[in-house]
């Protein structure tokens, strides 16, 4: 069976870690692309030499020429200016719009049938940029957000309750930022509602920590941002697409009225397969959850209006 071809644009920490996980898991052949050609080639060579130790036959190449990415099945866009201490995702809007635009033009030219997974921040807005520039069907464009946010929520809850993360089920909706909506009402630990296990104030504090999860790591690292958890989240999505898993994962998907969101990308539960987003799964929200989600949608919509003026 033909292996999937996966391009990762941006060979920094997120891109490099994603490539490593894809090769180790034998998910597909990997092409690393970066404006710093030596960085991409060096990491690709290092990974190619590690592949035998993973018992993986996946090929890894790297460079700066997008011709090498031709006919990719999935393209992961991690390019962009990283967040710095004191910088919000929104601060990155103008510079990263230009970067994602240039990258997407090249990707669309060489891999017109690919599924795009956007990681660049501000996430939901950059997914919107990739869709507008590529002119791909919206089902083949998505952003990595909810998988990461839900993983952070699970990690913090497991720590607070001293339980295995495997026993926690949760979902995070909305934009990937300060207005994200962790659904505490739908969060369970071994089937028990988390709201029955933690005091409201403690649970609220954990929810806020999830919203600040990226900034917390930025402030600790000083000169970089998170990459282990983001790369693991990307691989979860890539695997669902290339293996046609029909996996239900929260991601920034194009909404046509679902959850009240119209014509924009925002975090919702979606079924992912070889065609990208196969469908968005609807669920009932409480009045409080609907209000919080709408606030998040409004924040994403405002960024998209700014982007419309930049493109």
Say what the pLDDT of residue 92 is: 73
Is pTM, for the whole model, over 0.85? yes
Sign of CA dihedral 186, 191, 193, 198: negative
Say what the pLDDT of residue 85 is: 64
Given the candidates 3.60.15.10, 3.30.70.20, 4.10.140.10, 3.90.110.10, the CATH classification of the domain at 146-310 is: 3.90.110.10
Say what the pLDDT of residue 224 is: 85
Q: Where in the chain is the domain with CATH 3.90.110.10?
A: 146-310
Say what the pLDDT of residue 243 is: 97
Say what the pLDDT of residue 89 is: 58
Q: pLDDT tens digits, the chain, 311 residues: what are they?
A: 689 999 999 999 999 999 999 999 999 999 999 999 999 999 999 999 999 999 999 999 999 999 999 999 999 999 988 666 676 656 778 889 999 999 999 999 999 999 999 999 899 999 999 999 999 999 999 999 999 999 999 999 999 999 999 999 999 999 998 899 999 999 999 999 999 999 999 999 999 999 999 999 989 998 888 999 999 999 999 999 999 999 999 999 999 999 999 999 999 999 999 999 999 999 999 999 999 999 999 999 999 999 999 88
Q: CATH homologous superfamily for 5-143?
A: NAD(P)-binding Rossmann-like Domain (3.40.50.720)
Both structure tokens of 223: 């000169």
Instruction: Output the CA angle 171-174-178, nearest 5 degrees.
Output: 105
Catalytic site positions: 176
Say what the pLDDT of residue 310 is: 87
Q: E strands, the chain, where? A: 5-9, 29-33, 60-63, 74-77, 115-118, 141-143, 168-169, 172-173, 181-182, 188-189, 192-193, 247-256, 262-273, 276-280
The CA distance from 138 to 132, in Å, is 9
Exposure letters 138-152 (e unless 16+ CB within 10 A, then b): bbbbbbbbbbbbbbb
Q: Where in the chain is the domain with CATH 3.40.50.720?
A: 5-143
Q: E strands, 53-139, where? A: 60-63, 74-77, 115-118
| Measured CA distances, 271 to 9, 169, 240, 248 (Å) | 24, 17, 9, 4
Both structure tokens of 306: 């700014």
């Amino acid at each position: 069976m033909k292996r999937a071809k996966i391009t990762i644009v941006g060979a920094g920490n997120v891109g490099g870690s994603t490539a490593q996980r894809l090769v180790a898991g034998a998910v597909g052949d990997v092409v690393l692309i970066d404006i710093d050609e030596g960085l991409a080639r060096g990491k690709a060579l290092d990974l190619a030499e590690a592949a035998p130790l993973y018992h993986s036959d996946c090929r890894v190449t790297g460079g700066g020429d997008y011709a090498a990415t031709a006919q990719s099945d999935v393209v992961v866009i991690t390019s962009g200016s990283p967040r710095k201490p004191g910088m919000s995702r929104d601060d990155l809007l103008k510079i990263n719009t230009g970067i994602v635009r240039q990258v997407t033009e090249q990707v669309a030219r060489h891999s017109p049938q690919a599924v795009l997974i956007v990681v660049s921040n501000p996430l939901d807005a950059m997914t919107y940029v990739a869709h507008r520039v590529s002119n791909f069907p919206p089902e083949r464009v998505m952003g990595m957000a909810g998988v990461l946010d839900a993983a952070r929520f699970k990690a913090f809850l497991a720590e607070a309750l001293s339980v295995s993360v495997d026993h926690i089920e949760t979902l995070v909706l909305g934009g990937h930022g300060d207005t994200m909506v962790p659904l505490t009402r739908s969060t369970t630990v071994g089937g028990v509602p988390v709201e029955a296990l933690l005091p409201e104030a403690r649970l609220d504090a954990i929810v806020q920590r999830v919203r600040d999860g990226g900034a917390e790591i930025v402030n600790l690292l000083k000169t970089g941002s998170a990459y282990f958890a983001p790369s693991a989240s990307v691989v979860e999505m890539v695997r669902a697409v290339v293996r046609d898993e029909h996996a239900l994962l929260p991601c920034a998907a194009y909404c046509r009225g679902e959850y009240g969101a119209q014509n924009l990308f925002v975090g919702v539960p979606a079924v992912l397969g070889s065609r990208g987003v196969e469908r968005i799964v609807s669920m009932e929200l409480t009045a409080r959850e609907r209000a919080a989600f709408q606030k998040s949608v409004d924040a994403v919509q405002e960024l998209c209006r700014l982007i419309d003026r930049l493109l």
